[in-house]
Structure 1
């Protein structure tokens, strides 16, 4: 099947106007030849290159992970740790180990000069339930590898909430230990009303390990407001592969403050859009016949599985493999796998990875000049709407769940094109390093349109006298993270013209709600008993621009309308005209895209101009669906989600502000561990080392087409960083993948291919070798 798509691609590339079908025998021969992908270099690995420096942003090694684990567990450390497998709520135990972000001030002397390679440190999160005042505390351990000079110190300097790396117990991550402590109370409540839940919902919950249980319990975040209290909002679904699509109208609210589980208590039960503070009040309403299940949920989840649906039939010709993007002639990018360093058509960059943030890029240069020091995800958030506890209370920060660890093997030819370079993703997990094979792909892809083209003249049979067209393509680096119900596809494209495109697509199951006929303002009905809950997706990023060097400014070019007269149009008098009003932002601020797109924002070099005297820079070009949170003052996102509440922000770069958010912030909306809003303290952003923070996302207006899963085609958001006077002219003049076609006075057509001919696929065969380019010209 792949062979057919290869020849189809060759046909389209070579001469789209060819309409005559080739000789059938030649066609069959072409199929067999093209089926050997090695003959066109399709399966050849990317050429290797040696990175100019050892990657200073790389993850700590597996040996370092194990050594750090052993060090913090040693009695001499004084941390009094229990192995996580044996720990309870009131023990001290390691939650995770990760690589500590290395300060920019330490890396620049090394990466740009002859400075020493910065030392690496581990970041260790320890849940200290055994303390008199239980907390979560972060530590930094280094320098690595572990030696007599390695120290264990509190990691406080990257947090500005007032307590450093400390988080109160009630606001810390809700892990398995806390869930186990809560389970007895939940089982007690649900067992006492099992006759009601069976009658109303044909299901009961007697504990996650009890064979009688045929409901799935799930929780939302946040579980606290400021760390002084804790609560758990529990929803129930029918179990199965599509559990998120089969919720039932039952919610249990628990108070779970502190480490003493005997003091936990029921806050209430919600069903039928009513709140019952006690089991007795719920039972009284049930006995009075006031409770019903008006729209029963189905246990049959076949309708929500991602597989063919027989009753929908089959589309004509769907038995053929869909068109494929392939790298004919071999890969045009180079890779240093060990250092995670890439070179492509003038681009160079390093790749790094974090368990909390996922894929990150550093030292991004175009033709030897730095454009970005860092490009990284900061948060993937979602906030829901609805008139019931689950939807109203639900806000997700996916860094809280360590989004980087939710990668998985990609499906070649579907998630990424055939022939992509597939790389493993690794991260510390306990005392070892976990490997997710083939979870990141790199590939060059046809843009689907020329980078540039133009024709002149139209008096000939061909409709032109001269035509130039430059082939468009881009190098993509892609990964997919499935966090619970959603699949996020992150794609970073490096284009030939020097622009960078960041896009995110969302698929997966809706976190749906049971259907309520009077709550259509929160989402449509999408099945017999299911309603699609409206929600916002907001994805926050950090772009530390260093246009040529670290002295940059944020330039605002506003298109304004003015009244003016022009003496050569005396009959018009005063009329409206457009002007550009260009200013530089002076101090740190959050701001939004201008209405009608009438303001262009560019990061420009303070000390470098192009040959025409214009400040060299990169423009921020909004793409599809650049949004921020709809709600500005929700009790669930009041202070810990400041970065999510504007399209853009600019701050001065500081080593103690490497992140816009803390991974544990979600449970502290009133008292965040790290407060993005504190970044804005009046510092200058003119001729400084500046960072742009930007949000992508989607207002998810749910629909029946979200069944079985949300589609990547519609749930997409993007932004482009494009050269703005960074160069002296368009970056296409040195590209050879182009065609120049001319028609002379007699109507004869000639063309120049600049030495880039169509590929010839060769195999060992008795028949003569077929040149695909010659075959296509028949």
Structure 2
């Protein structure tokens, strides 16, 4: 059965008090099908996850639709004196709300509540307001609370979480480029490109640009970030492409460089044109070169972009047996995890945690405990950045920070059976736009899966030595996975968080989607190979930064480094060897906050330990940092495009002391301030002691994306993957597999030639699936705008 063929990709816009839409048709068909009884037993699908009541209110939860509506109303109240215009009617010189979200909770306020009888901490919203109407226009962030809105609610500037010197203020030229700001530049680009339409039509197979709404336009334009260095200037480096679903893979060799400083479009100007790897400062020099025959296109982009589609290509043939349905993960016998959907709380095999969501960071985890003891207070993505290499204007200056593009709002519907196993638990995410709330359906999935390997096993040989074995023990392994996929422009980032039975947990990120490519030049292969008729795969780095606020048992932790060192030694029982090489472990502790890279050859072990707590053997209890695939950092450290705005991405690991004033490693508008960042991560490191203090570990995952022909049509998740694992390190007295019933114990009696088999009461369920025939074309789209008046 082809389920979720259209991905149920709808969102529903809601305001306070509006009920969610009914379950999508295809999902209902699936659940009905899996619930049917087969000929050989009961259904393999036994329903939803059991419910559990969260022990406390989820204080980290997003603000509600009602709170958003009330905050919006308060901000627009004349008494608040912000002089706001509705964004739909705003110009660059108006004041208007960009977005509203929840303010990060102060840990010092939360701990007394979740660990004792302290009061539930007050909740606040944060809002970015573009203030173009000021004498010095800027973007200013505000905090609004406590919530719900009442007479005691205040609106104050949100400055205390930023260290760049201007608090929550970002200069106009460095603020986010929204539709209002882009539209102010459109007339200049339209007139400029219209004037040279004869040149572009001749060079690019009829490619012309007369503006976004002109039917004659056959090109599309794009520009990236940064758009300023320090907020005192504004610029745009514009690349033109062929329009279509594969536009990212169809660039043409033409760039427009624009000076767009300030709020007055009459002062904007063209800095130059680039094509054929040559710069032309004005139209006359470009036209002279064209008329002299000095500009010509060696390669032509095909206008048919079907080669960029991820669909079935019959000409490729069918691999043997590929017409059969692929293996699937099924939670036989029912779900072994419990959920509180309202509190976004999960329990699984000793694990418990709360989840939250941010429009900029996506999903976040709080109060992560194993067998009742807290391991991590907060685990959250901080940034997903990419920096490109090249000599052409778009590639050479492109640095993306995906929180700038509100990564969380791009968590969209997951395809059941493909993105997540059939029968997974699906949760929605909600974010706020103006005075309404948008719900992305089924954007998070939760499921348990077989890891494919045992958790532990051993075959004990016969003491006589002449039998295959005398005893064999094996423990089955599985893991709970929480997953979401964010499609931010061209890339589909897949985030998986896995919780293992032994107390380990893992963070994984994968990247698929379109390359941001460049026009192909044979002499520029050092920046990437040719991957299509006129396309080069642009070399780039993906660096994703996470924050892990560890509380191993309590908040007094240390960062332990155990180095393997080579020593020369002699041993009296080997006198004939004299002195010979041996290796040993040298254990130290970081004394002060520090950023550092992983030791070569993996010859160092890193752990967060509590020196005041020991296991039964007297060893300090802790959690080990286990690097996995592709733990990297940014390649370039001194680029003008990422000089100070990307400090969080320049080392493998960093350890700081927790402060409520340092909740984020980056700012959502930092990308446009490479020389004067709003949030300078390097300033977190001010020689504070981190011995038995409240520690935060910042770690980077990512990929040096060595592009290849196999990135067409889209990059494959197989190779573009990065992982890190955190495992108990003397946290327990022994391995955490002794209390698991999913195991087998087999004994062979050589005297009687009998084998005994112990299943511990856990037998293989007898069940079946009966799926209906495919139902195509029925995947209703719900697009509802519901407006309510102010209370």
The number of equivalent residue pairs is: 737
Question: How many angstroms does 1:37 deviate by?
Answer: 12
- Aligned partner of 1:581 in structure 2 is 586
Is this contact kept in 1: 2:461–2:467, CA < 8 A? no
Question: How many angstroms does 1:762 deviate by?
Answer: 7.7
Query: Quick check: 1:468 aligned with 2:481?
Result: no
- Aligned partner of 1:27 in structure 2 is none
Question: How many angstroms does 1:466 deviate by?
Answer: 1.2
CA distance in 2, matches of 1:460, 1:235: 73
What are the equivalent positions in structure 2 for 1:3-42 lying under 5 Å apart? 39-42=42-45
What are the equivalent positions in structure 2 for 1:555-566 lying under 5 Å apart? 555-566=560-571
Is this contact kept in 2: 1:497–1:730, CA < 8 A? yes
Question: How many angstroms does 1:463 deviate by?
Answer: 2.9
Is this contact kept in 2: 1:43–1:419, CA < 8 A? no
Equivalent of 1:182 in 181, 185, 206: 185
CA distance in 2, matches of 1:206, 1:748: 85
**Higher RCO (C-alpha under 8 Å, 6+ residues apart):** 2
Query: Quick check: 1:489 aligned with 2:498?
Result: no
Question: How many angstroms does 1:36 deviate by?
Answer: 8.6
- Aligned partner of 1:417 in structure 2 is 421
Instruction: Return the TM-score normalized by structure 1.
Output: 0.93
Q: Output one character per residue of 1:85-143: Cα deviation in whole Å (capped at 9) or x when no partner.
A: 00011100000000000100000000000000011100010000011110000000000
- Aligned partner of 2:455 in structure 1 is 451
> What is the SS of the residue equivalent to 2:414?
coil
Query: Quick check: 1:200 aligned with 2:206?
Result: no
> What is the SS of the residue equivalent to 2:562?
strand
CA distance in 1, matches of 2:148, 2:51: 28
Query: Quick check: 1:99 aligned with 2:96?
Result: no
Equivalent of 2:662 in 657, 660, 666: 657
Q: Output one character per residue of 1:512-566: Cα deviation in whole Å (capped at 9) or x when no partner.
A: 1111111000000001111100000000000000000000000000000000010
Question: How many angstroms does 1:43 deviate by?
Answer: 4.7
Equivalent of 2:756 in 750, 757, 762: 750
Is this contact kept in 2: 1:83–1:93, CA < 8 A? yes
Q: Which runs of 5+ in 2 are unaligned?
A: 4-33, 771-791
Is this contact kept in 2: 1:740–1:752, CA < 8 A? yes
Query: Quick check: 1:248 aligned with 2:252?
Result: yes
What are the equivalent positions in structure 2 for 1:233-632 lying under 5 Å apart? 233-457=237-461, 463-632=468-637
CA distance in 1, matches of 2:398, 2:531: 20
- Aligned partner of 1:129 in structure 2 is 132
CA distance in 1, matches of 2:493, 2:47: 29
Query: Quick check: 1:72 aligned with 2:78?
Result: no
> What is the SS of the residue equivalent to 2:767?
coil
Question: How many angstroms does 1:462 deviate by?
Answer: 8.0
- Aligned partner of 1:223 in structure 2 is 227
Question: How many angstroms does 1:606 deviate by?
Answer: 2.6
Q: Which runs of 5+ in 1 are unaligned?
A: 4-30, 765-778
> What is the SS of the residue equivalent to 1:80?
coil
Is this contact kept in 1: 2:174–2:228, CA < 8 A? yes
CA distance in 2, matches of 1:487, 1:33: 35
Question: How many angstroms does 1:442 deviate by?
Answer: 0.2
Q: Output one character per residue of 1:670-700: Cα deviation in whole Å (capped at 9) or x when no partner.
A: 0000110000000011110010000000000
Is this contact kept in 2: 1:36–1:763, CA < 8 A? no
Question: How many angstroms does 1:761 deviate by?
Answer: 2.6
Is this contact kept in 1: 2:482–2:498, CA < 8 A? yes
Distance change in 2, residues 1:209/1:574 (3 Å): same
Distance change in 2, residues 1:600/1:763 (3 Å): closer
CA distance in 2, matches of 1:198, 1:448: 57
CA distance in 2, matches of 1:256, 1:33: 63
> What is the SS of the residue equivalent to 2:699?
strand
Equivalent of 1:706 in 711, 722, 730: 711
Question: How many angstroms does 1:625 deviate by?
Answer: 0.1
Question: How many angstroms does 1:760 deviate by?
Answer: 2.4
CA distance in 2, matches of 1:495, 1:39: 28
CA distance in 2, matches of 1:516, 1:177: 36
> What is the SS of the residue equivalent to 2:636?
coil
> What is the SS of the residue equivalent to 1:602?
strand
Distance change in 2, residues 1:391/1:609 (3 Å): same
Q: Output one character per residue of 1:385-443: Cα deviation in whole Å (capped at 9) or x when no partner.
A: 00110000100000000100001110000000001000001111211111001000000
CA distance in 1, matches of 2:371, 2:576: 52
What are the equivalent positions in structure 2 for 1:76-87 lying under 5 Å apart? 76-87=79-90
Distance change in 2, residues 1:368/1:232 (3 Å): same
Query: Quick check: 1:759 aligned with 2:765?
Result: yes
CA distance in 2, matches of 1:80, 1:631: 43
What are the equivalent positions in structure 2 for 1:163-174 lying under 5 Å apart? 163-174=166-177
Is this contact kept in 1: 2:41–2:766, CA < 8 A? no
Q: Output one character per residue of 1:267-306: Cα deviation in whole Å (capped at 9) or x when no partner.
A: 1110000000101111000000000010111111111110
Question: How many angstroms does 1:39 deviate by?
Answer: 2.7
> What is the SS of the residue equivalent to 1:750?
strand
Distance change in 2, residues 1:234/1:555 (3 Å): same
Is this contact kept in 1: 2:35–2:45, CA < 8 A? no
CA distance in 2, matches of 1:36, 1:239: 53
Question: How many angstroms does 1:715 deviate by?
Answer: 0.2
Question: How many angstroms does 1:54 deviate by?
Answer: 0.5
> What is the SS of the residue equivalent to 2:83?
coil
Query: Quick check: 1:638 aligned with 2:629?
Result: no
Distance change in 2, residues 1:80/1:688 (3 Å): same
CA distance in 2, matches of 1:461, 1:36: 46
CA distance in 2, matches of 1:675, 1:512: 30
Distance change in 2, residues 1:35/1:216 (3 Å): farther
> What is the SS of the residue equivalent to 1:519?
helix
Distance change in 2, residues 1:526/1:569 (3 Å): same
> What is the SS of the residue equivalent to 1:300?
coil
CA distance in 2, matches of 1:552, 1:606: 7
- Aligned partner of 2:732 in structure 1 is 727
> What is the SS of the residue equivalent to 1:113?
coil
CA distance in 2, matches of 1:763, 1:590: 53
CA distance in 1, matches of 2:46, 2:304: 43
| Larger displacement relative to structure 2 (39-48 or 447-456) | 39-48
Question: How many angstroms does 1:309 deviate by?
Answer: 1.6
Equivalent of 2:697 in 692, 699, 703: 692
CA distance in 1, matches of 2:388, 2:644: 17
- Aligned partner of 2:30 in structure 1 is none
> What is the SS of the residue equivalent to 1:518?
helix
CA distance in 1, matches of 2:449, 2:92: 50
Distance change in 2, residues 1:564/1:426 (3 Å): same
Query: Quick check: 1:670 aligned with 2:680?
Result: no
CA distance in 2, matches of 1:42, 1:234: 52
Question: How many angstroms does 1:2 deviate by?
Answer: 10
